[in-house]
Amino acid sequence: MKPAAFEYHAPATAQEAVELLAELGDGAKAIAGGQSLMPMLILRLAVFDHLVDLRRLEGLRGIDSRDDSVWIGAGTTHSAVGKSPEVRGSVPLLSRATPLIGHFQIRNRGTIGGSIAHADAAAEYPAVALTLDAELEVLSPRGRRTIAVAEFFTGMWSTELAEDELLTGIVFPVRQGRCGFAIEEFARRSGDFAIAGATVAVRLDADSRIDRCAIGLFGLGPTAVRASTAEVELIGRAASEVDPRDVGHTAVSGLGSVPSDLHGSADYRRRVGAAMVARAWRRAVQEASDD
């Protein structure tokens, strides 16, 4: 199939792009790598009269190491994120998540901002951003604002972004202390979206007690989520005394409605999710212990 006819716009600046989006209203949509939007247009799951292409916007691309954070332009491709030594050294969870996204052709065109703005419940980057408490920089004709990622995802494929707002950058805190990070997911074939997945960030104090931990879950609800109840129960405990399987069970027991479809029932996803949390927990704690 082909998409319905649309008018193509290629603004030269981000300011021009948001003004166009404001002027054209709900008949317009931004397009970045096109790896999620184009299939939706081709299948006619979405129809827009105007597409505003973000690829000429140089201010949306790049990776910049700052004092205690790494800024990544929303238009930076998954491949560029995956190849970056700064990301590998300072935000290893993001680096490790990247090869799990689709295939290399998709990673060469898809962008980190597109992935987070698209807010697919089974996508890796939204869960990584939640786990690392990233901040999202947003531009509209009314100016700039920053949104904490915990407030960003509002439901299936929906976010806090208004129609005329663009994500311009994502700010990730840099790892500090004795940290470990891991992502685990289960998909039927390499490159498929995960049936269920988990991300873990853990920090140990000098006595190997857990002084910070974050557990993200994806593919297990309408949006990626944090397993907050499990996190709270783990703080202050000696890492060696925690059974990873218990972490997995507690993490999924706090979930609300879990999707059930031809790829797996809700019960199956919960069991896979618990196993992914347990695996990721074990690896993250091992890494932090070796640090």
For position 113 contacting ligand FAD by CB under 6 A, the verdict is yes
Q: How far is the CB of 192 from ligand FAD (least distance, A)?
A: 6
Query: Which of 28, 32, 80, 195 touches ligand FAD (CB under 6 A)?
Result: 32
Q: How far apart are CA 255 and CA 198, in angstroms?
A: 13
Instruction: Give the interface segment with ligand FAD, choosing from 28-36, 85-93, 143-151, 237-245 (CB under 6 A).
Output: 28-36
Within 10 A of 16 (CB to CB), how many other CB atoms are there?
Answer: 15
CB of 41 to ligand FAD, least distance (A): 9
CB of 36 to ligand FAD, least distance (A): 4
**Cα Rg of the chain, angstroms:** 19
Cβ closest to ligand FAD, residue 225 vs residue 230: 225
Instruction: Please choose, out of 31-39, 236-244, 251-259, 273-281, the segment that lies near ligand FAD by the rule CB under 6 A.
Output: 31-39
Amino acid at 167: L
Q: Quick check: 57 and 75 in contact, CB under 8 A? A: yes
Binding-site string for ligand FAD from residue 46 to residue 85, where x marks contact by CB under 6 A and - marks none: --------x-------------------x-----------
- Pair type for strands 50-53 and 28-31: parallel
- Asked if 266 interacts with ligand FAD (CB under 6 A), we say no
Residues 152-211 that bind ligand FAD (CB under 6 A): 161, 166-167, 193
- Which residues have C-beta within 8 Å of that of residue 232, sequence separation ≥ 6? none
Choose, by CB under 6 A, the member of 34, 62, 173, 254 that binds ligand FAD.
Answer: 34
CB 126 within 8 A of CB 154: no
Give yes or no for residue 28 binding ligand FAD (CB under 6 A). Answer: no
Minimum distance of ligand FAD from residue 240's CB (angstroms): 34
Provide, rounded to whole angstroms, the least separation between the CB of residue 49 and ligand FAD.
14
Which residues here bind ligand FAD, judged by CB under 6 A? 29-37, 39, 54, 74, 101-102, 106, 110-111, 113-115, 117-118, 120, 123-125, 161, 166-167, 193
